[in-house]
Amino acid sequence: MQERSTDDVGQAEAMPGDVLFGKLRPYLAKSILVRKPMLASTELMCLRPGPEVYPDWLGYLCLSRQVVEWANATSEGVKMPRTSWEKMGEFRVEVPPLERQRAIANFLDAWTARIDALIAKKRRMVDLLEERRSTFISLAVSGSLNPGPESETGNRFTPSIPRGWRLLRLKYVVEGIVDTAHRTAPGVPGGEYLIVRTANVRSGALVLDEAKYTDEAGFRHWTERGIPRPGDVLLTREAPAGEACLVPQGVRLCIGQRMVWLKVPRSGPVLGTFLLYSLYGDPVQEYIKLLSRSTTVAHLNMEDIPNLPIAVPPRAEQDAIVALIEREVDRVSKLVRDLVLQLSLLAEHRQALVTAAVMGDIRIPGAAA
């Protein structure tokens, strides 16, 4: 087996039958069998099988647990771990006769196709559930779950609202709209203060995966305009625009670049939770899309945010609507978590099957032992 290096020329031509293998995170140990001519970038090794190696078998070998673990074990670097051909070339595996390689590949083609079809079906179910959740929230915050008499507003994004509701611009709903400097507080190892970046806000929740923290000095500097309070709302302006979450209890935090802090008055016209869900309603999301039509990336300017359209019902009705939304969100979230777990198990099963087949640990129909 040969390796076509891409380090010197920047790109290498990959031909049908080659295997592209990621040598740099986030593509480390990911691989694909080439079916048509293409160019491989510097993030990939181009593995070309010799005459005694069946390309499809090599493709499955690169997906096996042993190869993936070897790539990770031989990688170097902290921020961007990478492996090399010299290290990957030291991996040893027993190569079966060509005819058996072909039988193994044919066996895996059939079984992985079944698993992949099931994975695709479950991913589609996740997508449908998330669409249902979004639709339910949008209907709830617009008063459409229980249709009744309506009032015309003249607003293109919210043409009508239930009687007794008010259509207000965001600036009349909150007591302050605060952004930060065009940079993010530097992370400090062992820091106690959370830095909320756009990556930490998804689907109405604060996500702490790969969260960064700063120290007291950084916290004081990045909260000179005020400290977000529990129940306030954090909104993303970009990457992506229009995601939001509540400030949780017991977490001292500051906001990073492209984040906005919405100061929710404790006795104002809207509850923080109702405002949060309203930001995911169709009127606000359509408003964001319209503002972003002239750009390649959805983006909210600070001067646009005060004009976001918010339909505001009486406080008692807000409480009832929030309770309905949270029951539905909890139900859908549980179903999504179950499906995500099933997807993880299917991916593990797929890799285990591939590993067992290419390593000769299972009997392959039609192949000599």
Look up the CATH superfamily of 152-312: DNA methylase specificity domains (3.90.220.20)
Q: What does the alpha-carbon distance between residue 156 and residue 123 come to, in Å, rounded to a whole number? A: 35
At 146 the pLDDT is 85
Integer-rounded Cα Rg, in Å, for the chain is: 27
CA dihedral defined by 221, 224, 228, 233, rounded to 10 degrees? -100
- Are the C-beta atoms of 359 and 68 separated by less than 8 Å? no
For the whole prediction, is pTM greater than 0.85?
no
Spell out the per-residue pLDDT of the chain, length 369, in tens: 555 444 434 567 889 999 999 988 888 889 999 999 888 888 888 999 999 999 999 999 999 999 999 999 998 886 788 888 889 889 998 999 999 999 999 999 999 999 999 999 999 999 999 999 999 999 999 999 888 898 999 999 999 999 999 999 999 999 999 998 778 888 999 999 999 999 999 999 999 988 999 999 999 999 999 999 999 999 999 888 999 999 999 999 999 999 999 999 988 899 999 999 999 999 999 998 888 766 667 788 899 999 999 999 999 999 999 999 999 999 999 999 999 999 999 999 999 999 999 999 988 876 655
Report the candidate in 134, 125, 187 with the shortest Cα–Cα distance to residue 338: 125
Looking at domain 2-95, which CATH architecture does it have? Alpha-Beta Complex (3.90)
Burial environment of residue 144 by CB neighbours within 10 A (0 to 12, 13 to 18, 19 or more): middle
Q: What is the residue whose two structure tokens read 């090399």?
A: 84
**Alpha helix (H) ranges present in the chain?**
55-61, 65-73, 85-88, 98-141, 216-222, 272-278, 282-291, 315-358
Report the candidate in 152, 137, 343 with the shortest Cα–Cα distance to residue 244: 137
E strands present in 157-211? 160-162, 166-169, 176-178, 193-196, 201-202, 205-206
At 29 the pLDDT is 87
Coil, helix or strand at residue 227: coil
What are the residues facing 168 on neighbouring strands?
A: 310
**Residue 320 main-chain phi, psi, to 5 deg:** -65, -40
**Residue 265 main-chain phi, psi, to 5 deg:** -65, 140
